[in-house]
Amino acid sequence: MTNKSLIINNKSLIVTRTRTGGRVGDSVFWKATSLQPITIGDAVAVQISEGYDPAGYGLTDFVSANVQGDVVATWACGANCD
């Protein structure tokens, strides 16, 4: 698991990335927290900045919700682009 502070689309995000292995078919799970709304476009930008371009790794199951005053978004992508 990695945690990182990023500025994406002029928004401050705390991003957690968890990988479920390195084999074909495994997944990377993402969680971003911000005080501002998080869009799927922000998720795309996060993945690209971290080397997981959705054009190759995909982007699925995007959900964004208000949680105790913060905006929390979660989504997944493939761990490999094969």
Residue 22: predicted pLDDT: 65
Instruction: Note whether 15 and 72 are within 8 A (CB).
Output: no
pLDDT tens digits, one per residue of 17-75: 999 876 777 999 999 999 999 999 999 999 999 999 999 999 999 999 999 999 999 99
| Residue 46: Cβ within 10 Å count | 24
Residue 76: predicted pLDDT: 97
**What single DSSP character describes residue 23?**
S
Domain residue ranges in the chain: 2-78
pLDDT band at residue 82 using 50, 70 and 90 as cut-offs: low
| Share of the chain residues as helix, strand and coil, in percent rounded to the nearest 5 | 15, 50, 35
Six-digit token pair at 30?
């993402």
Instruction: Note whether 46 and 30 are within 8 A (CB).
Output: yes
Residue 69: predicted pLDDT: 94
